[in-house]
């Protein structure tokens, strides 16, 4: 398999039978295997609703999740007659997974999303982000501003190189010392009360260590130091959101998040120039879509309707 135009990339593809009978996830994937610079690597996505819809919800997941995370939000967005596109990043979900950990870089993933947007010619985009979906996705609209007009942001940050939280430091250290941990058990730890069936669905893409390069590598890529890859583009994005963004934004904050606590999200509220107060979710942790996805989706749609932005 090829990637980034430099050299062949060895990758594995999770067997389809790992994704049978996923709870509340009925949508069939579509695939792109000719993204410019990534020829031969297959990226999966959910792509529902009218292909010519005026509005597109582009929903970006983080680590160690995949598009399954958005299953409570997809039906709400589809009710508006919009198109809903939920890609799996390379290394996650049904997308191909490079075996070598050093394939996973900020630029590798950011550019793959740019290529997907251009290949699908997505316009009228509502960008929906959380975790790494935000670290990557929030840097993209400044490079193609005419394609985006709304933002829904949940627990995430821009990687500005200014340090981290105690909770994130513990998360990163855990990944360093437990590189091939039980993904299902981790989700049940961070989302108390999660059923074994749902936890198994989150772990489905990762049968063994060969499939977990992205899961292992992403925490160490978070730009907590000023000299890390992606800091410069993230700082440029922060300036753009503050001064040049003319679209409408909505923020939801899981207040029980120990990885990205409310103080960091309130700082993001300022950085992104969000006008309306955030939706505060006292009992929600890091994976807001899992615990409060439908509530957040309906709240943002209601807010946009209320201020004269018809859905």
Catalytic residues: 131, 257, 286
Q: What's the CA gap between 170 and 117, in Å, rounded?
A: 34
Q: What's the CA gap between 311 and 305, in Å, rounded?
A: 7
Token pair of 78 as six digits? 């589809």
> Treating both helix axes as pointing N-terminal to C-terminal, what angle do 166-177 and 213-221 enclose, rounded to 10 degrees?
140
CB 293 within 8 A of CB 191: no
Closest by Cα among 70, 30, 103, 58 to 202 = 70
> Treating both helix axes as pointing N-terminal to C-terminal, what angle do 183-190 and 196-203 enclose, rounded to 10 degrees?
130
Q: What's the CA gap between 307 and 302, in Å, rounded?
A: 9
**Cα Rg for the chain, rounded, in angstroms?**
18
Token pair of 39 as six digits? 């020829």
Q: What's the CA gap between 100 and 121, in Å, rounded?
A: 31
CB 212 within 8 A of CB 180: yes
Q: How many CB atoms lie within 10 A of CB 310?
A: 7
45 three-state secondary structure: strand
Q: What's the CA gap between 21 and 75, in Å, rounded?
A: 18
CB 69 within 8 A of CB 131: no
């Amino acid at each position: 398999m090829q990637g980034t135009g430099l050299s062949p990339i060895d990758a594995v593809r999770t067997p389809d039978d790992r994704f049978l009978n996923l709870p509340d996830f009925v949508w069939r994937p579509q695939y792109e295997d000719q993204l410019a610079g990534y020829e031969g690597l297959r990226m999966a996505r959910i792509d529902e609703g009218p292909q010519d819809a005026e509005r597109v919800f582009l929903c970006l997941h983080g680590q160690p999740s995949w598009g399954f995370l958005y299953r409570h939000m997809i039906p709400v967005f589809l009710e508006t007659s919009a198109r809903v596109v939920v890609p799996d990043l390379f290394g996650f979900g049904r997308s191909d997974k490079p075996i070598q950990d050093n394939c996973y870089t900020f630029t590798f993933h950011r550019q793959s999303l740019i290529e997907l947007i251009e290949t699908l010619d997505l316009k009228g985009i509502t960008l929906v982000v959380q975790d790494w979906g935000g670290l990557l996705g929030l840097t993209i609209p400044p490079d193609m501003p005419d394609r985006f007009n709304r933002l829904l942001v949940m627990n995430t940050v821009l990687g500005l190189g200014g340090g981290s939280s105690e909770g994130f430091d513990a998360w990163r250290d855990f990944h360093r010392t437990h590189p091939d941990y039980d993904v299902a058990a981790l989700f049940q730890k961070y989302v108390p009360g999660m059923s074994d069936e749902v936890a198994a669905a989150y772990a489905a893409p990762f049968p063994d260590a060969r499939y977990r390069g992205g899961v292992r590598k992403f925490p160490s890529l978070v730009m907590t130091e000023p000299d890390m890859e992606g800091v410069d583009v993230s700082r440029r994005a922060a300036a753009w959101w503050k001064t040049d963004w003319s679209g409408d934004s909505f923020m939801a904050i899981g207040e029980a998040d120990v990885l990205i606590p409310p103080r960091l999200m309130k700082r993001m509220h300022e950085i992104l120039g969000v006008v309306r107060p955030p939706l505060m979710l006292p009992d929600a942790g890091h994976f807001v879509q899992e615990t409060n996805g439908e509530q957040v989706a309906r709240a943002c749609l209601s807010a946009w309707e209320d201020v004269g932005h018809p859905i």
